[in-house]
A and B are shown apart, each in its own frame.
Chain A
Amino acid sequence: MAARTASALLACLVLGLPALALPASAQPRTDLVLGMISEPPTLDPSAAAPITIGQVVWQNLFEGLTRVDRDGAVVPQLAESWSVSQDGLAYTFTLREGVTFHNGQPFNAGSARYTIERILAEGSTNPQRAAYAVIEAVETPDDRTLVLRLSRPSGDLPFRLAQPAAVMVEETSSGTNGTEPVGTGPFRFSDWRRGNEVTLTRSPDYWDEAGAARLEQATFRFIPDPQAAAAALQAGDVDAFPLFPAPELYPTFEADERFQAEPGLTQMKVVAGLNSERAPLDDPRVRQALMMAVDRQTLIEAVASGFGLAIGSHHTPSDPGYADLTGVHSYDPEAARALLAEAGYPDGFPLTIKAPQMPYAARSAEILQALLAEVGVQITIQPTEFPASWVQQVLTERDYEMTIIAHGEPLDIGIYARDPYYFNYRNPAFDETVAAAGEAVEEGERARLYGEAQAILAEDVPALFLYLQPKLSVWRAGLEGYWIDEPVPSNDLTEVRWTE
């Protein structure tokens, strides 16, 4: 009897296992578990900078007056349309009707005005406050009209308003958006088990019927370890990893038909910043020589298994006026050595690089060390904890010679004109060009000026421009509607759905 029970149990176990692995019915699922490396500290994108915040809430929970679509174009969202005055100093937005926040409060010109004034307020901790400083006054002639008066023209404004830092918030909930966000998006906040996952559920009364979320529930699960991320995907614990952290394991997923793995691009520009105030880096010839000593393709191969795009300046293909400038100081160690000799360093010189502990940065530093050794520059790698130590030492105190970091803010070429900023780069011609580009309202002119600014950087090399980080997304087969590229730090899940 006992033996029979045991063998029956065993049979159940063996036969039952595959059955347990199968979904209960043939109905497509309506929930999604999406993996991310790090957890946002708060869910309020207007209060802190980590791009992980936008990767959870932007478009899913919070919306802006405008938005960036999957191709990087700026399109209307909570503002139906807008117009610019002749002198370029006033933007008039016509707001959408019938939009309500998740707490039932209406969205109107009053909430739009509150949001903008909150960003600009004295003591505001909005990380992108500087980008909106051009706004001088906010007017609301009626409930559906918002007028922004500017101190100087700004063609970038609609793009800036489409960023996570400028999402529309409602006054009574703005203080608690960090822990219980209230937006106008297709998903609403459901639960946050800190250190583990954030859950959003479909908003039943979303204003745009056609644009309503297809999924009933979306869970963002935080898995910091690359090995654990791969295991979680393979075991079916998560359905997708839009920014898969281990490029060397990516080909396994490309070959596995249970998954869809299509590499795209992010807006993360990996650059090796040079301190232009420190000798010998204050000599442009030295910086150019360093650039010519770098074989970007080799670096991309070694750091990101060949995924990613080599860049020659601080721009991405979705930015206005982008041009491939990798040829300006292309790989030529012979010429690099000659230029170093001309600058007075025939035997090279020692250099210290402060490298954050993220895998891409640490690996890039090692490859740079090998490549620059070829032209006589001996690099010492100094691991620097990111963000806290790095921000203090490099960004705030500017106490470094060379460093490496991925810049994730879209269209942030203007950082080279900031003073003070960690590059210590000063070039009035660049400052003027980039300021003019930001002001240009006419698209062609804007693209031309941004193109010029880009070319100045490529020539001057305030940083070694290395590559654009790939978006190595892995999605379970049967999912569609996700974004291949990431023009804004986000995981827009509005159109994501299961087909099987």
Chain B
Amino acid sequence: MPKRFLRSLLGFATTFLVLSVLIFALMEIVPGDIASAMLGTAATPETVAALRAELGLDAPALQRYLAWVGGLLTGDLGTSLAYRVPVSGLIAERMAVTLPLTLMAATLAVALALPLGVLAAARPGGPMDVLATLYAQVGIAVPNFWIGLLLILFVSLWLGLLPASGFPGWDGGLLPGLRALLLPALALAIPQSAVLTRVTRASVVEAMNEDFVRTARAKGASVRRALWRHAVPNALVPVVTMLGLQFSFLIAGAVLVENVFSLPGMGRLAWQALAQRDLIVIQNVVFLFAAIVIAVNFVVDLLYTVLDPRLRRRA
């Protein structure tokens, strides 16, 4: 176990190193810089040069790269070039929106998909199955920002139940914050739950046809018991895999949905920083996104071993 742990730790370090070089190099070749962005049509060669010097952009690339990575290792994410405030604070503020949003969406997606998928699998071809298949098809086909617009139209504008945009901040209380996140989370969750419904259904149907379920049935287990006690737990591995894979889609989807609901989350931060060429912010945000995806994959990996004892022995 310690050996395996060390090996994956080394793997992580290499991944992150390569990632940091890649991100930094990409930012170097993007045309335009923050001095041009900040000065716009008023830019003159003198003011651009003055601003670049003030921001420390005239230093060699290697020096700036080392400063960034050195900062990362000591937990200092640097200062935003555009806003001139610490990047860590900016990211913390935004994570306080995006993290609850994606977690809410993931929870909603599972809460919608699991019962629907299992019920559909319980009686293939039955009315519940038809409904679930229809839901899955529509949910996969319709993009989340469009669902967001529909939710705004019906729930916010017609029914007046929930706000259409913006985020009041958590200091205003838990409830207003959750209210603001409910519609965006739903918009994000529906396409994900559609995929998950499909995977759950297929996986449970497959498990129901496995020998061990047949054995259980032969030994007198009811359909319901065979389904819940034997088939569903065994069908969870592919569902968890899918959820892990989809986490990166959730983050990517959050960028679009944050725009539709005008939420001050990580997606907005990344988008704005890119337009402004606020390199230090983009570098850190992209790095963080990548780190989250890698970490989620790691957790999913661990979950496999919990869910499937066979994998434990193999390791």
Q: Which residues of A contact B (CB under 8 A)?
A: 17, 21, 39, 41-42, 48-50, 123-130, 178-179, 193-197, 221-225, 227-228, 231-232, 234-235, 237, 385, 387-393, 395-396, 405, 407-409
- Complex A-B: 16 CB contacts under 8 Å: A17-B160, A41-B276, A124-B50, A128-B42, A129-B44, A130-B44, A194-B83, A195-B90, A195-B93, A224-B259, A227-B260, A232-B262, A235-B165, A391-B39, A396-B36, A396-B45
A235 touches B156 (CB 8 A): yes
A49 touches B42 (CB 8 A): yes
Closest CB-CB distance, A417 to chain B, in whole Å? Answer: 13
B interface size (C-beta, 8 A)? 55
**Which of B56-64, B232-240, B264-272 is found at the contact surface with chain A?**
B264-272
How far apart are the CA atoms of A39 and B83 in the complex, in Å?
Answer: 10
Closest CB-CB distance, A96 to chain B, in whole Å? Answer: 29
A389 touches B82 (CB 8 A): no
Q: Mark B8-35, 1 if CB is under 8 A from A, else 0.
A: 0000000000000000000000111110
Q: Which residue on B lies nearest to A420, using beta carbons? A: B45
Choose one: B33, B47, B82; the contact of A41 (CB below 8 Å): B82
How far apart are the CA atoms of A171 and B34 in the complex, in Å?
Answer: 26
- Cβ of B261 within 8 Å of any chain A Cβ, yes or no, is yes
How far apart are the CA atoms of A235 and B165 in the complex, in Å?
Answer: 9
Residues in A whose Cβ lies below 8 Å from that of B74: none
How far apart are the CA atoms of A195 and B94 in the complex, in Å?
Answer: 8
A231 touches B152 (CB 8 A): yes
How far apart are the CA atoms of A137 and B174 in the complex, in Å?
Answer: 57
Residues in A whose Cβ lies below 8 Å from that of B275: 385, 387-388
Q: Mark B263-285, 1 if CB is under 8 A from A, else 0.
A: 01100110010011110000000
Choose one: B39, B82, B157, B278; the contact of A234 (CB below 8 Å): B157
Residues in A whose Cβ lies below 8 Å from that of B39: 48-49, 127, 391
A391 touches B36 (CB 8 A): yes
How far apart are the CA atoms of A41 and B37 in the complex, in Å?
Answer: 10
Q: Which residue on A lies nearest to B155, using beta carbons? A: A235
A395 touches B41 (CB 8 A): yes
- Cβ of B3 within 8 Å of any chain A Cβ, yes or no, is no
Residues in A whose Cβ lies below 8 Å from that of B160: 17, 21, 235
- Whether A50 touches B40, Cβ cut-off 8 Å, given contacts A225-B260, A235-B156, is yes
> B244-298: which have CB < 8 Å to A?
259-262, 264-265, 268-269, 272, 275-278
B149 touches A392 (CB 8 A): no
How far apart are the CA atoms of A221 and B261 in the complex, in Å?
Answer: 13
- Cβ of B112 within 8 Å of any chain A Cβ, yes or no, is no
How far apart are the CA atoms of A197 and B264 in the complex, in Å?
Answer: 9
B38 touches A50 (CB 8 A): yes
Closest CB-CB distance, B307 to chain A, in whole Å? Answer: 39
Residues in A whose Cβ lies below 8 Å from that of B41: 49, 391, 395, 405, 407-409
How far apart are the CA atoms of A126 and B42 in the complex, in Å?
Answer: 10
With most chain A CB atoms within 10 A of its CB, the pick from B36, B54, B160, B166 is B166
How far apart are the CA atoms of A382 and B84 in the complex, in Å?
Answer: 33
Closest CB-CB distance, B92 to chain A, in whole Å? Answer: 11
Choose one: A42, A224, A392; the contact of B84 (CB below 8 Å): A42
A385 touches B152 (CB 8 A): no
B163 touches A195 (CB 8 A): no
How far apart are the CA atoms of A138 and B157 in the complex, in Å?
Answer: 57
Q: Which residue on A lies nearest to B265, using beta carbons? A: A195
A388 touches B277 (CB 8 A): yes
Residues in B whose Cβ lies below 8 Å from that of A395: 36, 41, 43
How far apart are the CA atoms of A127 and B41 in the complex, in Å?
Answer: 9
A127 touches B164 (CB 8 A): no
How far apart are the CA atoms of A387 and B82 in the complex, in Å?
Answer: 13
A392 touches B165 (CB 8 A): no
Choose one: B36, B54, B94, B167; the contact of A387 (CB below 8 Å): B36
How far apart are the CA atoms of A195 and B82 in the complex, in Å?
Answer: 12
- Cβ of B99 within 8 Å of any chain A Cβ, yes or no, is no
- Whether A391 touches B32, Cβ cut-off 8 Å, given contacts A41-B38, A126-B47, A237-B165, is yes
Residues in A whose Cβ lies below 8 Å from that of B262: 221-225, 228, 232
> B116-153: which have CB < 8 Å to A?
149, 152-153
B42 touches A125 (CB 8 A): no
- Whether A391 touches B43, Cβ cut-off 8 Å, given contacts A193-B169, A228-B259, is yes
B32 touches A127 (CB 8 A): no
With most chain A CB atoms within 10 A of its CB, the pick from B32, B163, B167, B278 is B32
Choose one: A17, A231, A392; the contact of B36 (CB below 8 Å): A392
- Cβ of B53 within 8 Å of any chain A Cβ, yes or no, is yes
Residues in B whose Cβ lies below 8 Å from that of A392: 31-33, 36
How far apart are the CA atoms of A42 and B84 in the complex, in Å?
Answer: 8
Closest CB-CB distance, A233 to chain B, in whole Å? Answer: 9
- Cβ of B302 within 8 Å of any chain A Cβ, yes or no, is no
Residues in B whose Cβ lies below 8 Å from that of A130: 44
B264 touches A237 (CB 8 A): no
How far apart are the CA atoms of A124 and B157 in the complex, in Å?
Answer: 49
A237 touches B50 (CB 8 A): no
- Cβ of B187 within 8 Å of any chain A Cβ, yes or no, is no
How far apart are the CA atoms of A167 and B43 in the complex, in Å?
Answer: 19
4 cross-chain pairs, A with B, having the tightest CB-CB distances, nearest first: A388-B32, A195-B264, A391-B36, A235-B164
Q: Mark B154-188, 1 if CB is under 8 A from A, else 0.
A: 00110011011111010000000000000000000
Closest CB-CB distance, B278 to chain A, in whole Å? Answer: 8
How far apart are the CA atoms of A125 and B42 in the complex, in Å?
Answer: 11
Residues in A whose Cβ lies below 8 Å from that of B169: 193, 196
